Chains A and B, each alone.
Chain A
């Protein structure tokens, strides 16, 4: 199953080519029928700042609705997969997902509070982002303060505890919310969706995600060293403590940006890095690029299905679970049976 190292460049090129095809397909499908040629004309014209000469709503559909949604789905999928891959290596555990340190719970609580205060959507996203950072900040602070012989285990336990504390906060927010107005808004937010992705939302999402991914890429060789014991790592000149913090900061930034735009979408951060590892092995220099491409593609495919199948949207988190579970089981079966 695992791709030989020499074949990796070819493999990743194939994956990228498939992703490009997927993007092209996603642009041309939707509830509103736009011919593929018109999509190209609109995109071409906007690239050169010209008028496409097509109906205004065709322009709006392609540039204001589909383009931001495609970009947002790619960015969120890539971010969650990259964060998951980094965490799985950091915690030396393939069952770890990006919200292990409570980032999703923090984002959700922040968003819930903003909905409760009837704030506009930009503020809801900002509250979610800050909430996620606060949750992880608390976990790291408490975990470092407690210390202990196994700092990774301490962190995970603290993450579980702080996560459930924030979970209780979300429950309280839902409880006091107006049942006719705010409660549905909070529930819909928690389910996650790309419906409202607008061009103006994208910079605040993409810049932190790109920064985080860049940091993880620069640390790619050192992250592999984490697989060794702390003493061995130190003898190789790696400061494990600093490295751990850097990875946590990067992964948290990426996840919080993703969650504050699209809500909590499960599975991708767990499943995609795992699938990538089955394909290419645990070396982070190969795992990260493949996770990025697979995560972006999977999220885009799911969101395209969500927005095209019915007049009403399906929450992408639901689809990722329905699609993800059988795919994951199949991958496990192939990998483990071959190994035994």
Chain B
């Protein structure tokens, strides 16, 4: 099988090769309009026959919704859940008003297959894990509905590839190139500078979830990908796994230098509880609350929405190295990915929420 070391090379070779084949296929089909389908190999290795023109897309989970919104929002037929009042201000009204169709696979299946069929999507997109479970779910839904189901690998470091592949599926290659170039640049700049940071300057980070901040992600969990990608040490990274409960005593023992949370209740409470005060991050006032509008910056959902979070968190973790102009970056990212440039006042509100601003 593939050795892990060579994986990126093979992946990119694979991608460009695939794109070339697709290009040939598209040219071939253009010459022969009677044949209205093309083959696409998704990240689970499934060969999916796509219609020539994809106009209606059902995104089966939030990470897929985020990508479709960025690439071809007019093709999106609905959301997995309705936008809340405070979220809907950040995307153009016509997209925020799209109906709620439910989640089709992933964690918790709330969509009604008949509702999905009634909406007549040309393709179903899922972005996330490509494990056996999700691959078989994709097969099952595809055979039940007759709608091509594309499953893409949702890891953070593959974001540029996700954008290009999905752009191919959606028939918007130019847009895909533009966004992939942006994502590649963001990831590349971060990687380049982080590579120069010595091990002793890389902080130990604890990701606090839940109202008590006592749930966290173990090594390899999709929830803490950002910490790993930014080269910092996840204090709970000694074991591999997903989300887990930990004890306060263990957190004191880990003594993280930085705490990242997405729970405002925990952020408010952490300063008032004496025991948290014995943790280095709390004493140094290095506890940060990730913004969550319209999509989370750290974890919720684990999708391309985290690109802006990477820039934010890099300023927090390495204050001597990174000095992103966050107002500018937020404006640019939101315009590119959410189709609407936020007002200066909106950006200010977002960044001035307690716990957000890097110090």
Contacts and interface: CB of A to CB of B under 8 A. Distances in A.
A198 B253 contact: no
A32 B275 CA distance: 13
B236 A193 contact: no
Interface residues of A, number: 40
A196 interface: yes
Interface in A185-216: 185, 188, 191, 193, 195-196, 198
B300 A307 contact: no
A184 to B, nearest CB: 5
B33 interface: no
Contacts of A119: 211, 265
Interface string A306-336: 0100111101000000000000000000000
B108 A311 contact: no
Given A179-B106, A183-B108, A315-B245, A57 B215 contact: no
Contacts of B110: 175-176
A184 B249 CA distance: 21
Given A118-B265, A184-B243, A188-B215, A64 B275 contact: yes
A178 B80 CA distance: 10
Contact of B245 (A60, A120, A188): A188
A160 interface: no
B107 A65 contact: no
B250 A31 contact: yes
Interface string B204-215: 000001111011
Nearest to B253: A32
B252 A61 contact: yes
Interface in B224-247: 236, 238-239, 241, 243-247
A181 B262 contact: yes
A65 B248 CA distance: 7
Contact of B300 (A118, A176, A178): A178
Contact of B299 (A66, A176, A180): A180
Contact of A193 (B211, B245, B273): B245
A57 B245 contact: no
Contact of B274 (A60, A174, A175): A60
A337 interface: no
Contacts of B215: 184-185, 188
Nearest to B110: A175
A121 interface: yes
A198 B107 CA distance: 32
Contacts of A57: 252, 255, 278
A172 B159 CA distance: 34
Contacts of B239: 310-312
Contact of A180 (B107, B245, B248): B107
B300 A195 contact: no
B274 A179 contact: no
A195 B107 contact: no
B160 interface: no
Contacts of B238: 311
A124 interface: yes
A32 B214 contact: no
Contact of B210 (A59, A61, A188, A311): A188
Interface string B243-273: 1111111101101000000101100110001
B108 A179 contact: yes
Contact of A32 (B246, B249, B274): B249
B103 interface: yes
A120 B265 contact: yes
Nearest to B254: A311
Contacts of A176: 110
Contact of A179 (B103, B211, B277): B103
B7 to A, nearest CB: 27
B112 to A, nearest CB: 13
A176 B110 CA distance: 8
A61 B302 contact: no
A30 interface: yes
Nearest to A58: B278
Contacts of A31: 247, 249-250, 253
B273 A312 contact: no
B156 to A, nearest CB: 14
B73 interface: no
B148 interface: no
B245 A121 contact: no
Interface in B288-334: 299-302
Interface string A113-139: 001001111001000000000000000
Contact of B244 (A65, A198, A312): A312
Nearest to B210: A185
Contacts of B108: 174-175, 177, 179, 183
Contact of A120 (B103, B236, B269, B299): B269
A7 interface: no
A312 B239 CA distance: 9
A183 B255 CA distance: 28
Contact of A65 (B210, B269, B275): B275
A120 B267 CA distance: 11
Contact of A30 (B211, B249, B264, B302): B249
A56 interface: yes
A77 B238 CA distance: 32
A119 to B, nearest CB: 7
Interface string B66-85: 00000000000000010000
A222 B249 CA distance: 45
Given A120-B269, A178-B81, A312-B239, 10 more contacts: A57-B255, A60-B252, A60-B274, A121-B212, A181-B299, A183-B107, A185-B211, A188-B210, A311-B239, A312-B245
Interface of A: 30-32, 56-57, 59-61, 64-66, 115, 118-121, 124, 174-181, 183-185, 188, 191, 193, 195-196, 198, 307, 310-313, 315
27 contacts: A31-B253, A57-B252, A61-B278, A64-B274, A120-B211, A120-B268, A120-B269, A121-B212, A124-B211, A176-B110, A179-B106, A180-B299, A180-B302, A181-B262, A181-B299, A183-B108, A185-B210, A185-B215, A195-B212, A195-B247, A196-B212, A196-B248, A198-B275, A312-B218, A312-B246, A313-B244, A313-B245
